[in-house]
Structure 1
Amino acid sequence: MSEIFNKEVLNQLKQGLNKIKNPIKIITFIESGKPLCDEVVTMMMQLAALNNKIKFVEYDLIKNADLAEKYGIDKVPGTTILASDKPTGIKFYGIPSGHEINSLLFAVLESSGIVTPLDAKLVDAIKQINKKINIKVFVSLQCPHCPKAVMTACKIALLNKNIDAEMIQTNLYSDLANKFKINSVPRIIFNDSDDLLGVQPIEMFVDKLKKL
């Protein structure tokens, strides 16, 4: 499998990853012969090689079904991040390349303890959510606006263990895209029902969370 990143991009990524605070683990679940599985594994291996605080582990979704269930992974390629060996609730379904590399880097850095500032009232509101919530963000890798939505969802998941945030590569999971009638991105689905369309401020996310 050829490498995903060239030397120039790897140098840029390495500079960004130098900010990592605490060790994290990236886990990718695959199935033999499924689209983009090999590419995602190669991508994560390249990323992990850039910083010794990143550990990468690959699992088979079928053979390691118990672990997949533990981390809430039900599609391949499915990637999640652990911080201090604990799930963050962040998941990437598909390959987070193109513009979505920014989402992956954000998730890695935030999971490691590099926290971007957020208004204290919003933080409190997110932490007070006491029900299980799933946030799906449907994206296109060519969309420059989608990472903003993914990053917002990831930020929320890191603040509350009851909340999962999923980036979903729309063209790879056509069954899901059809189910939710995705015809433009970013599209954010809360608990498979309520939704937001386009780039929205985190306040809009919080409003949806409160009403669920």
Structure 2
Amino acid sequence: MLDIFNKEILNQLKESLNKMKNPIKIITFVEPGKPLCDEVVTMMMQLSTLNNKIKFIEYDLIKDSIFAKKYRIDKVPGTTILVNDKPTGVKFYGIPSGHEINSLLFALLESSGMTTPLENKLVDAIKQIDKKVNIKVFVSLQCPHCPKAVMVAYKIALLNENIDAEMIQSNLYSDLSNEFGINSVPRIFFNDKDDLLGAQPIEMFIKKLKKLKF
């Protein structure tokens, strides 16, 4: 399997990942022969060589179903991040390459404790959500606006353990994209219902979260 990143890109990624504060684990679930599984494993293995604070573990979705259930992964390739061996709610379905490498770097740094500042009132509003919420962000790897939406969703998930946030590569999961009527990206769904279109600010995400009916 060819490397995903060339030497120049690896050096740039290493410089960014040097900002990590605490150890994390990257967990990727695969199935033999399924599209992009090998590529995602190669990508995460390469990343894990760039900083000793990153540990990478590969699981088989079927054979290791007990872990898939534990980490709430239901598709391949599916990747999540653990902090202190606990799931963060951050998930990547597909390969976070192209513009989505920015979302991946953001998730790794934020999970490690290198957090970006956020107004206290916004943090408080996110932490007040006391029901289980799933945020799906459908993306295209060629979309320059998609990472902003993904990063907002990840920021929210990292602040509240009740919330999962998923990047979904729309062209890889075409049946799911058709089910949700995806014809432009980024498209964001909250518990598979209320949606936003475009790279909206975090305030709009919070507004949707507050209006959810459970």
TM-score range, shorter chain: over 0.9
- Structure 1 position 90 matched with structure 2 position 100: no
Aligned to 1:114: 114
Deviations 1:33-72 (A, max 9, x none): 0000000000000000000000000000000001001100
% identity of equivalent residues: 82
Show the counterpart of 2:55. 55
The residue type paired with residue 88 of structure 1 is T
Task: Tell me which residue corresponds to 2:21.
Answer: 21
Q: Distance in 2 between matches of 1:7 and 1:143?
A: 25
**Which amino acid counterpart does residue 122 of structure 2 have in structure 1?**
L
The structural deviation recorded for 1:84 is 1.2
| 1:186 shift after superposition | 0.3
1:25-104 aligned within 5 A: 25-104=25-104
Tell me, in whole angstroms, the C-alpha distance in 2 between the residues paired with 1:74 and 1:155: 22
Matching of residues 190-209 of structure 1 within 5 Å: 190-209=190-209
**Structure 1 residue 82, shift from structure 2 partner:** 0.3
Distance 2:200 2:190 in 1: 14
Instruction: Please tell me the root mean square deviation across aligned C-alpha atoms, in Å.
Output: 0.3
Give 1:5-20 correspondences, 5 Å limit.
5-20=5-20
Structure 2: gaps (5+ residues): none
Query: In the alignment, which residue of structure 2 is the partner of 1:124?
Result: 124
Query: What is the aligned partner in structure 2 of residue 162 from structure 1?
Result: 162
Partner SS for 1:96: coil
Q: SS of 2:82's equivalent? A: strand
Query: Aligned equivalents of 1:195 and 1:20: distance in 2?
Result: 33
After the TM superposition, list the runs of 4 or more consecutive aligned residues in structure 1 that deviate by more than 6 angstroms.
none
1:163-183 Cα offsets, whole Å, 9 max, x none, are 000000000000110000000
Count of aligned pairs between the two proteins: 212
Q: Deviations over 1:87-122 (max 9, x none)?
A: 100000000000000000000000000110001000
Query: Per the alignment, in what secondary structure is the counterpart of residue 90 of structure 2?
Result: strand
TM (norm. structure 1) is 1.00
Written as runs of structure 1 = structure 2, the 5 A alignment for 1:143-182 is 143-182=143-182
Give TM-score scaled by structure 2 length. 0.99
Structure 1: which amino acid aligns with 2:35? P
Which ranges of structure 1 fall in alignment gaps of 5 or more residues? none
